[in-house]
Structures are given as structure tokens and as C-alpha cells.
Structure 1
Amino acid sequence: MAQAGYRDALGAHARRLAQSSIEDLNRRQPGRAQQLALRIGPLYANFARQSYDQPALDALWAYGQSLELPQAFRRLFDGAPVNLTEARPALHTALRSDLGRGPVAAAARAQVLAAEQRLAAIVAELEASGITDIVSIGIGGSDLGPRLVCDALKPLQGARFAVHFVSNIDGMAIERVLAGLDPARTAGILISKSFTTQETLFNGAILQRWLGDAGRLYAVSADVQRPQQQFGIAAERVLPMWDWVGGRYSLWSAVGLPIALALGMDAWRQLHEGAALVDAHVLQAPLQQNLPFLHGLTEIWNRNACGHASHAVMCYDARLALLPAYLQQLVMESLGKQVGVDGRPVCGDTVPVWWGGAGTDVQHSFFQALHQGTQMICGEFIGCVRGDDPHPLSHQALLANLLAQTQSLANGQPSADLQRNYPGGRPTTTVLLDALTPYSLGALIAMYEHSVYVQSLAWGINAFDQFGVELGKQVASALLPAVRDRSVTVDDPVTAELLAQLHR
């Protein structure tokens, strides 16, 4: 059966199930809650509140079988040029595991291990230096991953360094970070794959002036010459990354230097070990027991069979408040494509809009729309079984809210008063970590990475390029002279009017 045939079959199942409630699906099939749950070490996911029944799920597994997912993942790990538009591999898995086979993966792994030794030496150097604060400057993948991990795992006390992140080109962002810091006790890290990113160069220059001539600056880049040329950073203070690692997959590389500084090398290694656990699982687990496969195919079901265009991520652990922003980039930059790897327009819709926030705060902001809005919004609920704070009653109440929201979204509550009627039928996946640790967080992030690859294979798109982010940057550079000087003219009439307002 051609790919279009599998997608048509899924659509037929979705139409058949349109009047079936998720509550009825779970009541009619005893054991469904256990059958649609999978675990990898400290990571558990339950899909029983999705809107498919067993025949629909069988069709979904048949679609997955047609995609030859195990073979595709083996090519990914072994360093095949899966990034077809740029003719290069995507070897982020080599940053945390040695599961790749063949010379390409072996060479990448050797480079990674050498870079990790240098990273550990820089951590030791800074620990012995009297530095207390680190300012990390980067944007996108050079910021979101390290920022997420540092924020999620930072200890309540006894942190090795206070790590501060600056991404936005807005000068107030860096001013707020530098206020109250001591240049003599602060080091800076400039992180940019190309070392041409405007935001990083502007903020790096501000930081360098603030630190003064004796200031400590380090860099991470795929172009190890540019930091020396543009900022005078000595070669021994520049760590490499590689063109076979996309920015949004790079926290496992030297881009994660802020993580190692904030949490220590032991935590850094545990983070990688958690990801390596999922790497082994995705390669070895059979199709129907493979968690990233089921997660990715469920996203295909919701987007293409059911037509849902919005996906909300709710984290019922305040330490994971930055996860929705991280997943926005991972998912939407990877899958926001309209052209397939064959150069033809994609048939059908690709990525929905991913967004979200921290529970229980978001229950008092956008949950009205989730429960009673006219647009069906899929949900992803993430929580931790064990809390690490000294307030057990608060953690129990937090988990009760997580359970209540997923139950209410799925089952609803009918009422003759339409204002108080909850229709239910809102599909959700619940993801639970045994506890929030470097190991479990590494596993969680790797699971999402592999789910994204599954979806890219289903849509026939390249998950590892991001040409869509380039045009706006190019136009911004071209417009900068007109913003600085009112005598510079532009052709676009709306931009010309807006410039006139800026120059009033």
C-alpha cells in the first residue's frame, strides 16, 4: 500500500470513531490503560486517552511498519546523510552513546570524547579560578537546551556557579543580567554554531566590554577560528561543535558547557546516560513496544487522521516550566516544512502549533479554551511521581490536578445548562518521570527527539534543516542601515511608513 493509502485508512478510522467518546473506549476495552502504556527506565507514558481504538491502532502500526522505522533509525545512528538537503548526517546520538556502527559514527564519537575531555578541563579550570557567575550568550539551540536543563535541575543550594542566560538582542536583556554581577568574578561563554548570529555577536561585544581586558571569555562554535578573529578568544578556550549536529539537538555537545558548570560533570554524564538509555530502546525495542515510535505515530494520528492543529504541553512540575519553549523549537523548527525530501510539496498538513506552560498556573489562563473552546486542542501532560521539596501535601495536590485535568478533558461532564457543559473528548498523553533527575530528564528529551524523527519520516520531510529561519534574519540585516539613518530609503511601502514612525 502506498503512503497515501495508509493515511486514507487512518482517516477512515478517525471518521468511524468521530462519535465515540474516549471514556467509552476505555470502558469497553478492559486493560486498555495498561496496554497503551510504555516505560523506558524512569520514563513512563500512557496513551489510553487518545482517540484511537484497537483497529485504528492496528492501522497506525501498519503505517509505522511501512515506514521501515527500525531501518531508518539505524541509518540515523550510523551516520548516513539523513539531512539530505545539506548532504550530511545528523549524529546527535553520537554525542551520548556509541550505538552507531561504521566509520562515520566511530569518527564522530572519537571527536565527541576528545571534546568532552577538554570541556571537563575548562570546568576544572573555572572551579579553581574564583569565578562565581557565568554569563552564557546564545540563541535558539545554543540557549534553549542548556537553559532548560540548568533551570530544571539547579540545586536549592550549593550550586557550583550561578549561570545566567542571555539570548535576546534587546539590550535590556543583557543589562538586567549584568546588573549586580562583579566583572572580576564573572566569566562569559559565547555559543554559536556559525559564529555569525547577530544576537550573539552583539551581546558578546557588550559582555566583552563589560568584562574588561582581563575578562574570561570562552566560546563554542563549529568554526573554531572565528572566536579568535572576532573576540580574541584563545584557541584553548574554544570548544568545537560540528556541522553534523543541528542546534536544537546540540545540548549534548559542548553547547552544554553551562550545564556542566551549573550542575557538575557527574550530572552532565548522567544526563547523557539517560538519553543513551532511550537511544538503545529506540534501536532495540519491537515496533509495538517502542515508546518513541508510538509517540510519533500518535502525533501523526492527531494531526493527519483527526486534523488537530494545536498541541499544548502542560508540565506539572514548576522546574520544567521551560520545557514547552524547548519543545516548540525542537518540534516546530524540525517539522515546520512544506516541501518533502523529494523536492515536491508535502501532501497534507505537517506540524501543529506546539505551546504550553506550567501547571497549575495554566489552569487559570488557557484551560477554559481547552475544556470548552470550539477548537480541539491535543494535550501532553508531564509530571513527576516523586517531588523533591519538603512540602508533600503540595506535591500531592499538584498530582491530583494533573490527574483531574486529563480525566476531565477526556471524559467531560454533561449538563443541560450549556454554559456548564463539558463535552470531553479532548485527547491527551500523560508522561511521568519517577523523579526529576539528570538521568530522567535526559531520557525525556531524547524520547521527544526520536518522536520528531518518526514524524519526519511519515511526512517525508527533512527534520534537520531550518531554512525557514533565514529570510527574516537576512532582511533584518538589510534594514539595519535604514533603522540607524533616516536618510536610507526602502522599497516596501509599509516598512517605509513604520520607519517613519521610528524616526519621529
Structure 2
Amino acid sequence: MNTASDAWQNLKQHSRDMNNTTLNQLFECDADRFNRFSVCLDDFLVDYSKNLLTDETMALLAQLAIESNLVERINEMFSGSAINISENRAALHTLLRGSKPTSPSRMNIERLKQVQESLSKMTTFAEGIQSGKLTGSTGKPFKNILHIGVGGSVLGPSMAVRALAPYSNNSIAIQFVTNVDGADLHDKMSNLDPETTLILVASKTFLTQETMLNARSARAWITKALGPKSVGNHFAALSSNLKQTEEFGILPERHFELWDWVGGRYSLWSAIGLPILISIGSKNFRQLLSGAHQLDNHFRNCSLEKNIPVILGLISIWHRSILGYKSHAIIPYDQRLELLIAHIQQLQMESNGKSINREGSKIPTASSGVIWGEVGTNAQHSFFQLLHQGSDIIPCDFLIAANAHHDLQHHHETLIANCFAQSQALMKGRNLDETKNHLLKKGLLLADIERIAPHATFPGNRPSTTILYRKLDPKTLGMLIAAYEHKTFVEGAIWNINSFDQWGVELGKELASQLLPAVKMEPAPSELDGSTSGLINRIRGFQKATN
């Protein structure tokens, strides 16, 4: 990123020119603002009119995208180029949902063949589980799936299974174990019958510490109940390491391949999505892929000015790097999207939470801010105080479906009203005079009005984007996830960072391995800082006292 470029400097000057502009003024001056600052793809609408920006803002951001070679970067990703430069890998998760690479190389043709074969194998296996043809070692059909993984191998599939619960066949309960904390595995297994439980182990290398510790404990649980020969019937592997999965005891026909050109946080479309496929069936799973594929085509073919991920990404750059907003809240007004927030957290912060550019130099501006949130209306009663009256401006994404899956119509109408009201309140606010008049109409005494009014004013002018869709079905979920994936890519392209590695997770893992012997009462590493040494000594003391 060149912060000395014309586009960058023009944006900085433009932001200063906008200092005294309010959203209320922009709407008052433009009766057609909603139509001009919203974009629709079928039944998927993105309303970004409540962000503090104008035609000039969007034109300058588009110029920044052009100067940053965004279109070329998009083409590189879809062609299968090794855009993950630190690991010399492609990032072709789009291939998993039917978006053919722009480069018909022999390698890409082989990749496409592998994807098709994998999906066919997954479908056959899932249908065998659903029908009861595939059974456990005692001949009983599976009633429970225990999916073990960490990070992207759990966040994506668990989110999708929860979001698409209305499409589940409900004959098989699916649970996810991700934490190395034994309480996670213990509490899940305590309610399961080994005879009717299938365990999916999701690890690209099949060496991930947390995942393999949980997998070995689950294997011991199965072995104790059913004998060592039962492991092959009760486990399947989602991995690229066939040798390790076979050594673990998993049958080759129950090994589902992963590839190094698909990152974990983009992997729910791959074999990592097997629990989704088992839950919702092949037809619905293909609809999930279809929605993402439609968004892929939109992203690669639509002009910058009407391109949903490009618009979302450029607004994010405007907020973070130009205006200096430090965080971004995701507020789905849909209880079944409660796990989407964690998925987007990983997607954006693991992808773009970096300070080094693609050339290995420090980037000259802020990159990813903190992504956080909660489902509405819960969020209104926890942190919306901060959003409305806090000292920081925090942009929000509101997500809402026009139609619910249940027949409690008044509930859904109330939900929609709350969603729209919050975005309106953040934008409009209520100044001191308006607040005093409001309190006067409520019958308060003048002295009380003077005392309360400063606390009851709302500054307004706080930005938000609303994503509205017809219904949360598999296709819509695919579009929604792909939109955030490509938004993240746009951010990374503008910041000139590699959005497809995650070296920031490595140091802590290495140090944990070094400290594990000391935690087990073995000698501690010779060179420890005073705090870590003190913590180890104290925890040893606590453990001895308990024993």
C-alpha cells in the first residue's frame, strides 16, 4: 500500500472535508440515497446508505482499488496462482463450490477432478449414514456425530449446521469438540452411546496438538467400550495425511482428502463440511455451494461500483484506515446465526490481522480491527449502550431475514422492527433540545429534565450496513459467507498483505510444547521470564494442595 499515492491522499483530504457532514444531512439532501447506496443480487440486499460516505467517497475508494491492482489480484486468485506467497500456495476455495479457475492448466483440471471425486465420496458416505446402511461395530445405525477439530475445521461447519437447522433431517445429532480443555470432550461424550456414535477427526496434517489429543481420548473411549477393532467402524478422517490417519486406525475408505490450496477458514466447502452434508443432505449442501458460486461469479465479473464484496471491503478500508475506527460489530438478527460471528472473527482477523505486507515490510497504516458481536436482540441489552453513547464510533453490520422458518409471526415482526430501529437510532441520534422536548412530553419536571437530558441524548451519525435477505436458506447462507470471504480478500489486497497465511498462531504453539513438561511437574525450561516461572510454581502448589 502506497499511502503517498494520489488516491490515498485524496481520501485523507476528503475525510477532513467530511468532518462536519452528518448522515442526517446526506439523507435530507438526497431522497434517493437508499436506492443509490444499496446493491441487490437476487434476494440478497446490501444497504450501505447509513455509512458516512458520498459519491465522491466511493469514487475515490474505487480509484484506490484500481491503484492497488484489485482486479488483477482477483484474477490471480481465481486463476490458481500461488497468491499465498509465504507458503507458495494457491487459494482456490472457490473451486470447491463450482467456480472454475480462469487458467485451464493441467494442475487446475486435476484439482477440479479431485473436488468432484471428493464431493461424490462425501455424498455416498453421508447417504450411507443417513439411511443406516453404514453402521457401528455392533451393527447399530449411527445416531450421533462427534466432530473433532480446531479453528476453521470447526468454526465453519458448526456455524453452518446451526444456521441450517430447519433443513436438518434431525435423525442424527451433531456435536463439535474444539477446545483442548477436557471439559469440552468430557461433557459431549458423557451423553453419547459409543455404539451409535461416529467420530470425525478434522485435521489437515493429522498432527494438530489440540485435535489429536481430543481424538486419542475419543479413541480410548470407543476402545474401552467396544474393543480396539471397533475404531475403524467409528472413525472417519478429514485430512491430507493418509499415512497418519491409517496409523491412527482409520480405514482408507473413510479418509476424506484435504488440499494445501484450501485454508482452514475457507474449508467448510470441502470435506471439512462433511457434518453439514450429513445434517442437511446432498440437495441442500449443493444449494449452499450454489449460493457461494453465485457470489463468486458476481465478485469476479461485476463492476467495482456494483460489486457487493468490493463495496463492503472498500467501506471497511474507509472506516479502519482513513477514519481510524478500531472495531466492527456483527449483529445478526437471527438466533441461528449465533455462530457466524466467531466464523467471521477468524475469517477477518486471522486473514488480515497483520502488520507486514507481501514484500515483508511493515505496512504504513492500520490493518484489521477487532471483529465482535452478538445476535439481536440480545446485543441490545448488553453492549448497545456503548454503540449508541460510547466514546468510540463502531460500525455495525445488521443481518436480517424477511421471512422466518417458524410460524410465530409477531415474534419475527418485532425482531425486524428492532433491527431497523437500531440502525435508524445509530444514524439519527437525538440532540439535547429533542431530548428535552421528549422528556417534557413524558411529564417530567423541568428540574429533572435539566438533570437527565445530557445523559439521554444520542450523538447519532454512527455508521451501519444492513444485509437483508428473503430467508436464511442454504443458498442464502452460501452467498452470505462468500460475501464476507471476498470482502476480506478486498481488504487484504488494498493493504497489500497476504490474507491466506497465519504465522501469528505459531509462537504460542511452540512455547506451549516447551512448557508442557514443566506443567507435568518435570523440570522447567532453564530460561523462563519471572512471570511464567512464578505461574508454574504457583500452579504446582495449587495442584499439590488439591491432591
TM-score scaled by structure 2? 0.90
Q: Taking structure 1 as reference, are residues 158 and 344 closer, same or farther at Cα in structure 2, changes over 3 Å only?
A: closer
SS at match of 1:150: helix
* Equivalent in the alignment of 1:67: 68
1:489 offset after TM fit, Å? Answer: 4.6
SS at match of 1:337: coil
CA separation in 2, counterparts of 1:377 and 1:202? 39
Deviations 1:65-98 (A, max 9, x none): 2233232212111101111111111000000113
1:226 paired residue among 233, 244, 256: 244
1:179 paired residue among 190, 207, 225: 190
Is this contact kept in 2: 1:370–1:376, CA < 8 A? yes
- 1:147 maps to amino acid: S
Deviations 1:342-391 (A, max 9, x none): 11111110001000010000100000000000011111111111111110
RMSD, matched Cα: 1.4
* Equivalent in the alignment of 2:440: none
Q: Taking structure 1 as reference, are residues 333 and 157 closer, same or farther at Cα in structure 2, changes over 3 Å only?
A: closer
Matched, 1:492 2:529: yes
Runs of 4+ in 1 over 6 A off after TM superposition: none
* Equivalent in the alignment of 2:446: none
1:486 offset after TM fit, Å? Answer: 5.0
2:502 paired residue among 466, 470, 479: 466
Is this contact kept in 2: 1:386–1:435, CA < 8 A? yes
1:11 offset after TM fit, Å? Answer: 1.5
1:411 offset after TM fit, Å? Answer: 1.0
- 1:373 maps to amino acid: G
Structure 1, unaligned stretches of length 5 or more? none
Deviations 1:245-285 (A, max 9, x none): 00000000000001011111111111000000001111111
Matched, 1:116 2:153: no
Is this contact kept in 2: 1:336–1:350, CA < 8 A? yes
Matched, 1:284 2:301: yes
1:315 offset after TM fit, Å? Answer: 0.6
- 1:328 maps to amino acid: Q
* Equivalent in the alignment of 1:502: 539
- 1:450 maps to amino acid: H
- 1:314 maps to amino acid: I
TM-score scaled by structure 1? 0.97
Mapping of residues 67-146 of structure 1, within 5 Å: 67-101=68-102, 102-103=104-105, 104-127=107-130, 128=133, 129=135, 130-146=141-157
SS at match of 2:319: helix
* Equivalent in the alignment of 2:450: none
Is this contact kept in 2: 1:379–1:427, CA < 8 A? yes
Mapping of residues 157-172 of structure 1, within 5 Å: 158-172=169-183
1:191 paired residue among 188, 199, 202: 202
1:314 offset after TM fit, Å? Answer: 0.4
Q: How many residues align?
A: 503
Q: Taking structure 1 as reference, are residues 482 and 287 closer, same or farther at Cα in structure 2, changes over 3 Å only?
A: same
1:156 offset after TM fit, Å? Answer: 8.0
Mapping of residues 144-155 of structure 1, within 5 Å: 144-155=155-166
Mapping of residues 353-392 of structure 1, within 5 Å: 353-392=370-409
Is this contact kept in 2: 1:77–1:105, CA < 8 A? no
Aligned identity (percent) is: 36
Matched, 1:435 2:464: no
1:334 offset after TM fit, Å? Answer: 0.2
1:236 offset after TM fit, Å? Answer: 1.0
SS at match of 1:343: coil
Mapping of residues 335-484 of structure 1, within 5 Å: 335-415=352-432, 417-484=453-520
CA separation in 1, counterparts of 2:423 and 2:350? 28
- 2:109 maps to amino acid: A
- 2:179 maps to amino acid: N
SS at match of 2:66: helix
* Equivalent in the alignment of 1:25: 26
Deviations 1:376-418 (A, max 9, x none): 1111111111111110000000000000000000111112521
1:7 offset after TM fit, Å? Answer: 1.8
Is this contact kept in 2: 1:486–1:503, CA < 8 A? no
Is this contact kept in 1: 2:150–2:210, CA < 8 A? yes
Deviations 1:39-74 (A, max 9, x none): 122321010011111222211121122233232212
* Equivalent in the alignment of 1:297: 314
Q: Taking structure 1 as reference, are residues 35 and 187 closer, same or farther at Cα in structure 2, changes over 3 Å only?
A: same
Is this contact kept in 2: 1:98–1:109, CA < 8 A? no
- 1:456 maps to amino acid: G
Matched, 1:209 2:220: yes
* Equivalent in the alignment of 1:317: 334
Is this contact kept in 2: 1:314–1:380, CA < 8 A? yes
SS at match of 1:85: coil
Structure 2, unaligned stretches of length 5 or more? 136-140, 434-452, 542-547
Q: Taking structure 1 as reference, are residues 156 and 109 closer, same or farther at Cα in structure 2, changes over 3 Å only?
A: closer
CA separation in 2, counterparts of 1:68 and 1:41? 28
SS at match of 1:354: strand
CA separation in 2, counterparts of 1:294 and 1:480? 46
1:8 offset after TM fit, Å? Answer: 1.9
- 1:496 maps to amino acid: S
1:478 offset after TM fit, Å? Answer: 0.8
CA separation in 1, counterparts of 2:270 and 2:498? 21
Q: Taking structure 1 as reference, are residues 217 and 418 closer, same or farther at Cα in structure 2, changes over 3 Å only?
A: same
- 2:462 maps to amino acid: R
Q: Which has the larger radius of gyration?
A: 2
SS at match of 2:52: coil
**Mean Cα deviation higher: 110-119 or 59-68:** 59-68
Is this contact kept in 2: 1:91–1:108, CA < 8 A? no
SS at match of 2:374: strand
SS at match of 1:243: coil
